[in-house]
Amino acid sequence: MKSETGKILLIAVAAGTLGLVAALVMDGPGPLLKTEAGQRALQGVLSASAPPPPAGVAVAQRGEAVPALSLAALDGKSIAIPQAFAGRPLLVNVWASWCGPCIKEMPELQRFFAEQGDNGVQVVGIALDDEAAVRQFLKTTPVAYPILIEAPGPADAGVRLGNPKGVLPYSVLISADGRLLKQRIGPFEHGEISGWAR
């Protein structure tokens, strides 16, 4: 009898979790997805259903130091994340030129970046895309924050920053000392970044 009750309870919990995920995904960026609890739930489900990263690939974990990433900037220089931005919090936004929600949120990221000045949160974008496509996109939607480029794949920067399913856009907040503080799957709406990046 206990065994059957345990199985029923397990099935009920699994169904509830799947219902939560369905509500988050199917309803779009609704109120639940905009909360920290909703983001953690979505992140947990996506991580549990993602393939494991390739052997030897370090993946950032909330509260821990972000493994070093070295990515190319548009000028060809190699930039180390989070080391090159140490001393101030850093918002990293992973995007692509073909991603509609990514494109929609870029003016909001630019606005947030412009508000921060020399002492606020830093912003960097990582385009999982072709360099030519990124350059063409930035001609029509320019941003002043740094843009780094990497080819998408099973060990790309998004995966290493804790997004194993590769859902875009994806953002993380890294502390001044290089720890992963927050993760966000999906686009920021107008006015949301300031509250999220606290």
Q: Quick check: 138 and 24 in contact, CB under 8 A?
A: no
User: What was the pLDDT predicted at 9?
Assistant: 45
DSSP class of residue 152 equals -
Where do the domains of the chain lie? Answer: 57-196
6 vs 93, higher pLDDT: 93
6 vs 125, higher pLDDT: 125
Tokens representing 177 are 């000392």
User: What was the pLDDT predicted at 161?
Assistant: 97
Tell me the mean pLDDT in the region 57-80: 94
81 vs 165, higher pLDDT: 81
User: What was the pLDDT predicted at 1?
Assistant: 55
- Dihedral sign, Cα of residue 62, residue 65, residue 69, residue 75: positive
Burial (0-12, 13-18, 19+ Cβ within 10 Å), 4 = exposed
Provide the CB-side half-sphere exposure for 116 (13 A, CA). 23
User: What was the pLDDT predicted at 48?
Assistant: 77
Residue-wise pLDDT for 33-42, tens only, equals 777 777 777 7
Q: How confident is the model at residue 20 (pLDDT cuts 50, 70, 90)?
A: very low
Residue-wise pLDDT for 105-164, tens only, equals 999 999 999 999 889 999 999 999 999 999 999 999 999 999 999 999 999 999 999 998
Helix (H, G, I), strand (E, B) or coil at 100: helix
How high is the mean pLDDT of the chain?
85
Considering the domain 57-196, what is its CATH architecture?
A: 3-Layer(aba) Sandwich (3.40)
The distance from CA 23 to its chain's CA centroid, rounded to whole angstroms, is: 20
Q: How confident is the model at residue 3 (pLDDT cuts 50, 70, 90)?
A: low
User: What was the pLDDT predicted at 198?
Assistant: 86
Q: How confident is the model at residue 15 (pLDDT cuts 50, 70, 90)?
A: very low
Task: Give the pTM.
Answer: 0.81
